[in-house]
Amino acid sequence: MNEIPFAYKQTVDSLKVKVYNDRRALGAAAGAEVAARIKQLLSEKHGIRIIFAAAPSQNELLNYLSEDESIDWSRITAFHMDEYNGLPLDATQKFSRFLSEHLFNQVKPGMVHMIDSSNESEEECRRYGELLRQAPIDIVCLGIGENGHIAFNDPPVADFNDPEVIKVVELEDACRQQQVNDGCFPSFEDVPTHALTLTIPTLLSGSHLFCVVPGPTKRKAVERTLNGSISTECPSTILRKHPDCTLYVDRDSYGT
């Protein structure tokens, strides 16, 4: 694998940080490293389990993975990390649809487990939680929200010691506004108020975390992630404690 040149790198606590000139280079670098890890794990075990984030920030990463024909997706079980409550089944904003269109329909994983937000929430949390508990998670591909959330663990509901695997949360206003900023909804009022999300311990249970965070709207969140105290006031700061997490940023999000 030819490594994409990075502009700068550092380590903050245990978190590895790589800064790229632009989001295209960032996405290609992250994609190459995720693909390499997938192939290495598949050389060691029969199958692996991956959790994916669904957001425009992940587009370049997902595109890279969808085009890598050397990955044996038939041996991969895929999950996603959050889903809105209250959207129609055919809503274009559903995260399950996003991941299907950007990755799953092209690569055809051996198994895909989607969060079904049309199911009764307590029952869906039980069902999806059981699926996640069946075996360890090998890889998590995630991002960071403008308010520092990971998945939909916004500051008011984030819990580093959450006893749940997946839970219902009320979305913070800043999180809802980000969905408008990202072009996913036409107005703040159109964004659902609640969602189902994997909890922080569930995400951190992954053996290898790849966190992709491009763009100027994420600059404050990245700065807090790297320099702030580790606290649920900025949930992404907990990534500094994971034994194998890499944060991929561009100059816009890093601030150089």
- pLDDT > 80? residue 7: no
Question: Which pairing describes strands 76-80 and 48-52: parallel, antiparallel, or unpaired?
Answer: parallel
Q: Which of 158-162, 175-179, 220-224 comes out lowest in average pLDDT?
A: 175-179
Question: Which pairing describes strands 245-250 and 111-113: parallel, antiparallel, or unpaired?
Answer: unpaired
Could you give the CA distance from residue 254 to residue 45 in angstroms, rounded to a whole number?
A: 36
Predicted pLDDT at 2: 53
Could you give the CA distance from residue 235 to residue 148 in angstroms, rounded to a whole number?
A: 6
Average pLDDT of 81-86? 94
Which residue shows structure tokens 């966190």? Answer: 211
pTM, two decimal places: 0.95
Residue type, 17: V
15-20, strands of its sheet edge to edge: 8-12, 15-20, 245-250, 208-213, 139-142, 48-52, 76-80, 111-113
The pLDDT tens digits of the residues spanning 122-146 come to 999 999 999 999 999 999 999 999 9
Q: Which of 2-16, 74-88, 153-167, 183-197 comes out lowest in average pLDDT?
A: 2-16
pLDDT band at 1 (very low <50, low <70, confident <90, very high): very low
Average pLDDT of 97-124? 96
With CA atoms as reference, report the closest residue to 140 among 247, 256, 237, 220.
247
Residue type, 166: I
Burial letters 73-109, b for 16+ CB under 10 A, else e: bebbbbbbbbbbbebeeeeebbbbbbbbebbbeebeb
Average pLDDT of 61-82? 97
Contact 140, 208 (CB under 8 A): yes
